[in-house]
Copies of this chain bind each other. A is one copy, B any other.
Amino acid sequence: MARSVATKSEAPDDTIATRISRILADRIVSGTIEPGARLRQDHIAAEFGTSHVPVREAFRRLEAQGLAISEPRRGVRVASFTLEEVKEVAEMRAALEGLALRHAAPHLTAAILEAAEAATKAGDLSRDVRSWEEANRRFHRLILTPCGMPRLLAAIDDLHAASARFLFASWQTQWETRTDHDHRAILAALRQGDVDTACALLARHVRWIGQRPIDGPAGQKRKAFVVG
């Protein structure tokens, strides 16, 4: 009743700690802060014009997300990732997104599939990695959210963030087309009500991450990752 009619713009859970956590997460995912870099509470606190107490709380969040690693009295560092870990995240995503899709399928509407199709198109049109990643994430979120399992969706979101790190770290244009193709195949299966095929496609699509260090045309085996 006494709640103000128009909530100020978009600050749902407003606390300095969460705000810092989100911004730092974005920087880590986008690669603005390098893996292994130290996160010094005082410096970050100074940058945000706060004390280090909320910064430390933000660190705990990042730690739980797997984006930072805290050693007891030695400080917090940006989590570094090996190919092993990329694969691990991919496997987890495959398992959980498959589960989510299976539960979401009965609740998928034509409108949702349409929106997912639109997200795929947006991915095609995007020229920079960032907007492509956004569109890709939108696609996955659209078809999975209807499962109505908040904990599962939160876990998937964290894994997406981990995946996005690799995406930003090494971008290859070909992924775009590959992902695009996979997305359309998934949508086609869903439209036909073939949930099993859709789940299998989604799982393979996601698992594709990091599975193939790209063998360039001239044997240039660049360390490259793929993110669906």
A88 touches B151 (CB 8 A): yes
Identify whether the interface residues of A are mostly helix, strand, loop, or mixed. Answer: helix
Q: How far is the CB of A148 from chain B (nearest CB, A)?
A: 8
Contacts A57-B56, A61-B60, A61-B64 hold; do A149 and B91 have CB atoms under 8 A apart? yes
B95 touches A99 (CB 8 A): yes
Q: Which residues of B contact A99 (CB under 8 A)?
A: 91-92, 95
What number of A residues sit within 8 Å (CB to CB) of B?
A: 30
Number of identical protomers: 2
Q: Which residues of B contact A57 (CB under 8 A)?
A: 56-57, 60
Q: Which residues of B contact A53 (CB under 8 A)?
A: 53, 56
- Is A128 engaged at the interface, CB distance under 8 Å to the other chain? no
Using CB atoms and an 8 Å cutoff, list the residues of chain A in contact with chain B. 13-15, 17, 53, 56-57, 60-61, 64-66, 71-73, 85, 88-89, 91-92, 95-96, 98-99, 103, 149-152, 155
Please provide the 4 A-B residue pairs with the shortest distance between their CB atoms, ordered closest to farther: A64-B64, A60-B60, A95-B95, A95-B99
